[in-house]
Amino acid sequence: MIEAMTTGSPQLRFRSTAARVGAWAWVAFAALNLVDIVWRGRTLTALVMAMVLIFGCGVAYVLGLRPAIVGDESGLTFRNPLRDVRVPWGAVRKIEGTDSVKVHYVGAGGTELVSRAWTLQSSPRAQARAQARAERDARKLPAGAAEALRTRTPTAYAAQQLTEMADRHRPKAGRSGNPGKAAQQADGKPTGAVTWSVPAVAALAVPAAAVIVALLAAMIT
């Protein structure tokens, strides 16, 4: 399942409902166990277990709660587990949805880059199943609606919505339909970039370091 939502500001966001539910389930499990450890545990083994649970919460955040595809007035953002892809609408060349949502865009120096979103990814088998379901449902509808439904897989739907948003917000020069001309105008224009997410890296690195320290302490004593 996917979660698509709009907010007060013109924003479109796609996230995996299943991943978020799984992540919050782990956080609740970890919280209950941490309370029990604080109440009963006073040993180094209990400390190690507590650090492992906290590290698991970091993993849940990075893999389940953080990933999202966000489109707003100024551009497209892929929040992947450890890195962010930010592409202004003027730098977007194409958005496609196959086994994942991908954006083709102009990077620094006018280079052609492609980045994929972590969320909504599916295996070829899952993609085929989704396509088959769409085909079955399409047979029950009128011709026009049926044709639209045949491409209604989660990634294709997200790509379609984001492409429409890009068309609305892209500068007029980027709507000319001439990729060569757009590339010539890339100098001095906003370009896409991939950056590391400091909170995501810290969410894994800090508890991982704490686990190692706790294990070393338990081995020494």
DSSP string, 105-150: EE-GGG-EEEEE-STT---HHHHHHHHHHHHHHHTTS-HHHHHHHT
Q: Which of 47-61, 83-97, 99-113, 137-151 has the lowest mean pLDDT?
A: 137-151
- Rounded Cα–Cα distance for residues 61 and 18 (Å): 13
In this structure, are 99 and 47 located in the same domain?
no
Tell me: do 99 and 185 sit in the same domain.
Answer: yes
Domain housing 26: 2-66+197-220
Residue 203 is predicted with a pLDDT of: 96
Q: Is 39 exposed, middle or buried (0-12, 13-18, 19+ CB in 10 A)?
A: exposed
Share of the chain above pLDDT 90, in %: 55
Does residue 122 sit within a domain? yes
Q: Which helix (H) or strand (E) segment is 161 a member of?
A: helix 154-169
In a domain, 82, yes or no: no
Query: Looking at per-residue confidence, does 210 or 98 come out higher?
Result: 210
Q: Is residue 98 part of a domain?
A: yes
* Chain mean pLDDT for the chain: 82
Give the tens place of pLDDT for each residue, 88-130. 999 999 999 988 999 999 998 889 999 999 998 876 665 566 5
Same domain, yes or no, for 125 and 55?
A: no
Reference 81, options 200, 161, 216; nearest CA is 200
Residue holding tokens 């088998």?
Answer: 125
Q: Are the C-beta atoms of 14 and 158 separated by less than 8 Å? A: yes
Of the pLDDT bands very low, low, confident and very high (cuts 50, 70, 90), residue 201 is very high
81 lies in some domain: no
- Whether 176 maps to a domain, the answer reads yes
Q: Kindly state whether residue 186 falls inside one of the protein's structural domains.
A: yes
**What was the pLDDT predicted at 125?**
64
Q: Which residue has the higher pLDDT, 208 or 133?
A: 208
Statement: residue 184 has pLDDT above 60: no
pTM of this structure: 0.78
The answer on 191 and 117 residing in a single domain is yes
Question: Which of 191, 196, 166 is closest to 111 using CA atoms?
Answer: 191
Q: Where are the beta strands (DSSP E) in the chain?
A: 2-6, 12-16, 68-71, 75-79, 83-88, 92-97, 101-106, 112-116, 193-196
Residue 8 counted as domain residue? yes
Cα angle value 82/212/219 (rounded, 5°): 165
Compute the distance between CA of residue 15 and CA of residue 206 in angstroms, rounded to an integer. Answer: 26
Read off the pLDDT of residues 28-49 as tens digits, 9 standing for 90 and up. 999 999 999 888 877 888 889 9
Number of independent structural domains in the chain: 2
Cβ atoms 96, 200 nearer than 8 A: no
Nearest alpha carbon to residue 154 among 77, 117, 101: 101
Please tell me whether residues 159 and 96 are part of one structural domain: yes
pLDDT of residue 141: 53
pLDDT at 183: 40
Q: Which string of b and e fits 65-83 if b means at least 16 CB within 10 Å? A: bbbbbbbbeebbbbbbbee
